[in-house]
Structure 1
Amino acid sequence: MQDTHERAGHWTAGNRIELLENGEEFFPRVFEAIGAARREVIIETFILFEDKVGLALHAAMRDAALRGVKVDLMIDGFGSPDLSHEYLESLASAGVKVRVFDPGQRFLGQRLNVFRRMHRKIVVIDGARAFVGGINYSADHLLDFGPKAKQDYAVELAGPIVAEIHQFVLRAIALGGKGAGWFRRRLKQAPPVSQQQAAAGEVDAIFVTRDNRRHTNDIERHYRAAIRAARERIVIANAYFFPGYRLIKELRRAARRGVDVRLILQGEPDMPIVKTAAGMLYHHLLHAGVRIYEYCDRPLHGKVALMDDRWSTVGSSNLDPLSLSLNLEANVVVRDTAFNGVLWERMDRLMQHSCKQIDTEDLASEWSGWRLVRSFFVFHFLRWYPSWLNRLPRHAPRLTPAEATDLMAQQQKKRDEQDGSEGSARTEAA
């Protein structure tokens, strides 16, 4: 399946948007929206775990389906590989349609479907209310998870932009096997645009995605254009920061022309390689005047940015090779002073109270001559990696009903158990 929509990015006026921080704000709002749904619930997520958050989502979807709401759930085969038979069967028996994006068999216990993942996090309710962001359905997005709880963001949207998001998620299901006729029938069931506009505000927004066919760099292009246009400030908070050469170059140019450029990156990463990769760029960024802050309270999982006092973005896209060159991603880009102010207040609070600012003196004690040489080559490697990654096979990812993947998993489990029993018997005989 590919996202082959031909939507040209354009600003859509008349929307309402609200920033949601962490699972404490996001999950109750989503579950309440599902509970209020009358016709349709569509959810896309990279990760769905069978913990207290996943069970709460399960209950909300099942209740909605039992009262006659059409419920479609798309999960990623790499990100959500271990849902139990009981979990999936309970959803299916209530009428929830669960589809797995690019499921893959394991080899020696390892998941091999690493590349070109469905990394989006989207919810659309009745074609009139939507959520877009970086928050997965797992308990590690809640503070009570402990030191490894993730810091993250999403937005809730109402207004004409929701119609575009709705068409997008319906088309994703249709391209996964349902077909154009199904897409047209489902689209006709959406509320009229006039009803969506009645609940709107005054925010201009664009729904921007990346895929592996026609929209390969849309999100990155919006970032670069906003950086070039910035005159006062740029704040980017991103969990996995290792962008391409052109984006790094735009950040350095902005800082040198006097823009206050700040990066909020991981200081307590969930994967150590994340900090190592970003750290290789510190020398080049700091010497151009970019200010770098490492968020140290817990792992940063956010993917947000603001430029000057009107431009902002929230979504699923990291600024790393996977998100910029391989994964399927979705961001909302916003042009609104009030929303920008809210996001700035949240980012400023992080920088003031939860971050360590990195300066060149910090690097001096850590950077040997070899590290400087390595940093030089890494920096120039960024010129070429997007074209190299795009040479990886562009297979046609598929949507598979969860029942089929569940059956395959049960069969694999039986084979593993049989192999184990046979191995034990041979050991005893020996």
Structure 2
Amino acid sequence: MSRWVSGNQFHLLENGEEFFPRVFECIAAAKREVVLETFILFEDKVGEELHAALHQAARRGVQVDMTIDGYGSPDLSPEFISTLTRAGVRVHVFDPGPKLWGWRTNVFRRMHRKIVVIDGARAFVGGINYSADHLADFGPQAKQDYAVEIEGPLVADINTFVHKALAAGQRNAGGQPSPGLRERFSDRARSFAGSWRQDKVPAPVGEASALFVTRDNRKHTNDIERHYRAAIRTARKRVVIANAYFFPGYRLIQEMRRAARRGVEVQLILQGEPDMAIVKTAASMLYHHLLDAGVHIYEYCERPLHGKVAAIDDEWATVGSSNLDPLSLSLNLEANVVIRDRAFNETLTANLDQLIQNHCKRIERGDLMESTWWRSVRSYFVFHLLRRYPAWAGWLPAHAPRITPASSASPGDKPRMPDHEPPSQANAV
């Protein structure tokens, strides 16, 4: 279970311009180990920079494990993979599902996390993938997004998690964890909470208390949503949420409405220039319900919003990979950090205020031009859909997530990558 850990320090990283150089710098300084998980890795200029950083780290003796999602990263070339594996990088593919009549059979329940852990002492968690569309020079479709750099004892929890995920994924695929993973997760090690000795826990470096919160399809099906709901329920002054894909469940919407009705300033920053049209259409179905309760809605119109962050009152904040939609809240594997720290809350709040003031359009009731009868019919169906989707999401196919190596046996062999369909806009989340 997630636990509050004190003594941490967090640094907010906005967009690829801040995130990529810092991650690559830390990989270049790694001495023992780099563990990286990402939903999307494209073979563009950002992917090539990551490739070079991991390749160089492995060549100098650092143990490197990289896990990519089989749906989100389908088109890496054999040369891209083989150069890494020959240098010693262990490249893992999450759920490289089989096809049935040309269609994937496990398009749901993707590994959507974005995590990096360096030497067990520094970590990064957020929503930024390794692709050039997270850089401003990509153009009008460049994404607005966030991540955090983490130092302190919480890194031990994150480090334990990523290693356990690797070991479990390999076992589910019918294999055995690599020798390093077997050693780290021996029976004796598993008997200790966190799987690490106390001398492996980074020393306190700051004042922030934090949780590392994940969701999966077994024991932690709604942990991230529960933390959102609890924080909104206890809010006294302000709730500001910036989320790219917004179609939350009934209980989360009700907490927002109740907070606004008791006088809390509730502000939502949603996509005004979406990367997928359905995103704005789905969110707009909820506008009447939220506006009627006093929730303020802002559409970010500068470029596509990809962030998954929130700040509540003076201390609480979260940054991570989880959207507030059915995929993230009921299907995908996600990871967020929840932070209690005035300084970080102030930094994130100031950033979001700048978005609201300079790049957003506030949605008013007069902007919602549709007939009353249609709104009533649509609201009825949306209401019942939101009340029931956590239940029907459980009917979708569930399986033990598998992690399969992508490797080349020798310099003359081609690396093996699972079959995939061509990339689609669905990969953008």
What TM-score do you get using the length of structure 2 for normalisation? 0.90
Q: Tell me the residue number matched to 1:229.
A: 234
Instruction: Kindly state the Cα deviation for residue 238 of structure 1 after the two structures are TM-superposed.
Output: 0.3
Distance across 1 between alignment mates of 2:290 and 2:421: 49
Instruction: Kindly state the Cα deviation for residue 403 of structure 1 after the two structures are TM-superposed.
Output: 2.6
Distance across 1 between alignment mates of 2:178 and 2:74: 29
Q: Tell me the residue number matched to 1:203.
A: 208
Contact 1:15 1:157 in 2 (8 A): yes
Instruction: Kindly state the Cα deviation for residue 35 of structure 1 after the two structures are TM-superposed.
Output: 0.1
Distance across 2 between alignment mates of 1:337 and 1:106: 49
Distance across 2 between alignment mates of 1:252 and 1:49: 39
Q: Tell me the residue number matched to 2:416.
A: 407
Contact 2:243 2:324 in 1 (8 A): yes
Choose which of 380, 401, 406 in structure 1 pairs with 2:384. Answer: 380
What secondary structure does 2:124 align onto? strand
- Could you say if the C-alpha distance between residues 412 and 223 of structure 1 is closer, same or farther in structure 2, counting changes exceeding 3 Å? closer
Q: Tell me the residue number matched to 1:306.
A: 311
| Structure of higher RCO (CA pairs closer than 8 Å, 6+ residues apart) | 2
Choose which of 331, 344, 347 in structure 2 pairs with 1:342. Answer: 347
One-letter identity of the residue aligned with 2:203: Q
Contact 1:163 1:193 in 2 (8 A): no
Contact 2:106 2:397 in 1 (8 A): no
Instruction: Kindly state the Cα deviation for residue 336 of structure 1 after the two structures are TM-superposed.
Output: 0.5
Instruction: Kindly state the Cα deviation for residue 371 of structure 1 after the two structures are TM-superposed.
Output: 3.3
What secondary structure does 1:347 align onto? helix
Q: Tell me the residue number matched to 1:101.
A: 94
Q: Tell me the residue number matched to 2:146.
A: 153
Greater share of helix residues, 1 or 2? 1
Distance across 1 between alignment mates of 2:362 and 2:237: 20
One-letter identity of the residue aligned with 2:2: G
Q: Does 1:357 align with 2:355?
A: no
Instruction: Kindly state the Cα deviation for residue 80 of structure 1 after the two structures are TM-superposed.
Output: 0.3
Instruction: Kindly state the Cα deviation for residue 267 of structure 1 after the two structures are TM-superposed.
Output: 0.4
- Could you say if the C-alpha distance between residues 195 and 227 of structure 1 is closer, same or farther in structure 2, counting changes exceeding 3 Å? closer
Instruction: Kindly state the Cα deviation for residue 180 of structure 1 after the two structures are TM-superposed.
Output: 9.8
Q: List per-residue Cα deviations over 1:260-317 (Å, max 9, x = no partner).
A: 0000000000010000000000000000000000000000000000110100000000
Distance across 2 between alignment mates of 1:410 and 1:306: 41
Contact 2:8 2:153 in 1 (8 A): yes
Distance across 2 between alignment mates of 1:168 and 1:412: 30
Moved more, 386-395 or 263-272: 386-395
Instruction: Kindly state the Cα deviation for residue 212 of structure 1 after the two structures are TM-superposed.
Output: 0.4
What secondary structure does 2:310 align onto? strand
Instruction: Kindly state the Cα deviation for residue 408 of structure 1 after the two structures are TM-superposed.
Output: 5.6
Contact 1:53 1:139 in 2 (8 A): yes
Instruction: Kindly state the Cα deviation for residue 380 of structure 1 after the two structures are TM-superposed.
Output: 2.6
- Could you say if the C-alpha distance between residues 92 and 190 of structure 1 is closer, same or farther in structure 2, counting changes exceeding 3 Å? farther
Distance across 1 between alignment mates of 2:315 and 2:52: 39
Contact 1:128 1:191 in 2 (8 A): no
Q: Does 1:19 align with 2:12?
A: yes
What secondary structure does 2:287 align onto? helix
Contact 2:71 2:420 in 1 (8 A): no
Structure 1 residue runs of 5 or longer lacking an equivalent are 1-7, 414-430
Q: Tell me the residue number matched to 1:70.
A: 63
Q: List per-residue Cα deviations over 1:112-161 (Å, max 9, x = no partner).
A: 43100000000000000000000000000000000000000000000000
Q: Does 1:87 align with 2:85?
A: no
Distance across 1 between alignment mates of 2:276 and 2:415: 29
Contact 1:315 1:332 in 2 (8 A): yes
Number of residue pairs aligned between Structure 1 and Structure 2 = 404
Q: Tell me the residue number matched to 1:58.
A: 51
Q: Tell me the residue number matched to 2:393.
A: 389
Distance across 2 between alignment mates of 1:13 and 1:410: 44
Instruction: Kindly state the Cα deviation for residue 406 of structure 1 after the two structures are TM-superposed.
Output: 4.7
Structure 1 or 2, whichever has the larger Rg, is 1
Contact 1:127 1:190 in 2 (8 A): no
Q: List per-residue Cα deviations over 1:401-428 (Å, max 9, x = no partner).
A: 0138953658999xxxxxxxxxxxxxxx
Q: List per-residue Cα deviations over 1:359-407 (Å, max 9, x = no partner).
A: 11111x2345213321232023211011001111211121000138953
Distance across 1 between alignment mates of 2:234 and 2:420: 56
Contact 1:281 1:379 in 2 (8 A): no
Q: Percent identity over the alignment?
A: 68
Aligned Cα root-mean-square deviation (Å): 2.2
Distance across 2 between alignment mates of 1:408 and 1:33: 28
- Could you say if the C-alpha distance between residues 284 and 72 of structure 1 is closer, same or farther in structure 2, counting changes exceeding 3 Å? same
What secondary structure does 1:43 align onto? strand
Equivalent runs, 1:273-312 vs 2, <5 Å: 273-312=278-317
Instruction: Kindly state the Cα deviation for residue 185 of structure 1 after the two structures are TM-superposed.
Output: 2.3
Distance across 1 between alignment mates of 2:96 and 2:200: 39
- Could you say if the C-alpha distance between residues 195 and 11 of structure 1 is closer, same or farther in structure 2, counting changes exceeding 3 Å? closer
Q: Tell me the residue number matched to 2:273.
A: 268
Equivalent runs, 1:23-62 vs 2, <5 Å: 23-62=16-55
Structure 2 residue runs of 5 or longer lacking an equivalent are 171-175, 190-194, 409-413, 423-429
Distance across 1 between alignment mates of 2:197 and 2:22: 21
Distance across 2 between alignment mates of 1:399 and 1:409: 11
What secondary structure does 2:348 align onto? helix
Contact 1:66 1:95 in 2 (8 A): yes
Distance across 2 between alignment mates of 1:194 and 1:106: 43
What secondary structure does 1:383 align onto? helix
What secondary structure does 1:10 align onto? coil
One-letter identity of the residue aligned with 1:308: D
Q: Does 1:126 align with 2:124?
A: no
Instruction: Kindly state the Cα deviation for residue 194 of structure 1 after the two structures are TM-superposed.
Output: 6.9
One-letter identity of the residue aligned with 1:133: G
Q: Tell me the residue number matched to 1:185.
A: 183
